[in-house]
């Protein structure tokens, strides 16, 4: 019975929106016979999301969490890339490099404040939300977080970003970069550095959350507790 239920759970993303999915869901949420209850499913998903978001926040808030990850490293904004190229050609590459490093350090500093925002969203998750994530696509949990936390993350990140930009001298380097560039260009660059870094930092957080979601869905070793193994399926259960 458990093998059948776990197999059905693993097929939910493929069956989303189908009558078959609802029939399997009805079986899995019934009591008795070792079947998964609704409480099991909700508890498992909440634990999985808590683990994933904590892992993401811890990774990105470490030194070089952003700076040495090519997928999320914060570079000059598009409107400033021509300025960057010009400055490097004029021998000011070190100033540009310091500005880029400082932006990434600011994002790493701000990432520490992500966990409480995610935990609050998890606490507010309803049964409908949880079952929707389970039956949804491979990024359904990440999309849930985007919908529920983007505004709160922006509100939490912006002060931290602004403070970190000042602490790491990013604002100073940014001013240095473009005060130099503006002496050589008729088109002046005026970008809200705090808003730009905040947006890129949030993008990086969601990128890591998506990776954690995929890991928990697909990698049995990432299911660190009995409830996660019960909801997402353990290798032992699948082989029974």
Q: How many whole angstroms separate alpha carbon 3 and alpha carbon 233?
A: 9
DSSP assignment letter at 35: P
For residue 2, count other CB atoms closer than 10 A to its CB.
Answer: 16
Q: Are 139 and 211 in contact (CB under 8 A)?
A: no
Q: How many whole angstroms separate alpha carbon 59 and alpha carbon 18?
A: 37
What are the residue ranges spanned by the domains of the chain? Answer: 46-225
pLDDT in tens, the chain (240 residues): 333 333 333 333 333 333 333 433 444 444 344 566 788 778 878 888 898 899 999 999 999 999 999 999 999 877 778 778 887 888 888 888 888 998 999 999 999 999 999 999 999 999 999 888 888 888 999 999 999 999 999 999 999 899 888 887 777 777 777 777 777 777 776 657 888 899 999 999 999 999 988 887 776 555 555 666 666 654 433 343
Q: How many whole angstroms separate alpha carbon 25 and alpha carbon 20?
A: 9
pTM of the predicted structure, to 2 decimals: 0.73
Which secondary-structure segment (H or E) carries 153? helix 140-167
Q: How many whole angstroms separate alpha carbon 37 and alpha carbon 39?
A: 5
Please state whether 91 falls in left (phi above 0), alpha (psi between -120 and 50) or beta: left
């Amino acid at each position: 019975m458990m093998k059948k239920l776990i197999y059905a759970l693993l097929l939910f993303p493929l069956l989303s929106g189908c009558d078959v999915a609802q029939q399997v869901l009805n079986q899995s949420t019934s009591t008795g016979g070792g079947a998964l209850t609704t409480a099991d499913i909700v508890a498992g998903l909440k634990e999985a999301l808590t683990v994933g978001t904590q892992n993401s926040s811890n990774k990105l808030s470490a030194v070089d969490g952003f700076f040495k990850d090519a997928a999320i490293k914060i570079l000059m904004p598009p409107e400033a890339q021509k300025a960057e190229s010009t400055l490097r050609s004029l021998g000011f590459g070190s100033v540009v490099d310091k500005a880029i490093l400082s932006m990434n350090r600011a994002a790493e500093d701000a990432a520490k404040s992500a966990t409480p925002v995610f935990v609050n969203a998890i606490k507010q998750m309803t049964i409908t939300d949880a079952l929707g994530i389970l039956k949804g696509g491979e990024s359904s949990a990440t999309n849930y977080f985007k919908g529920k936390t983007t505004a709160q993350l922006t509100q939490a990140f912006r002060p931290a970003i602004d403070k970190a930009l000042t602490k790491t001298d990013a604002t100073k380097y940014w001013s240095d970069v473009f005060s130099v560039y503006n002496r050589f260009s008729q088109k002046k660059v005026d970008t809200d550095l705090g808003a730009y870094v905040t947006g890129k930092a949030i993008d990086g957080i969601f990128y890591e959350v998506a990776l954690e979601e995929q890991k928990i869905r697909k990698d049995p070793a990432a299911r660190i507790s009995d409830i996660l193994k019960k909801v997402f399926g353990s290798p032992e259960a699948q082989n029974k």
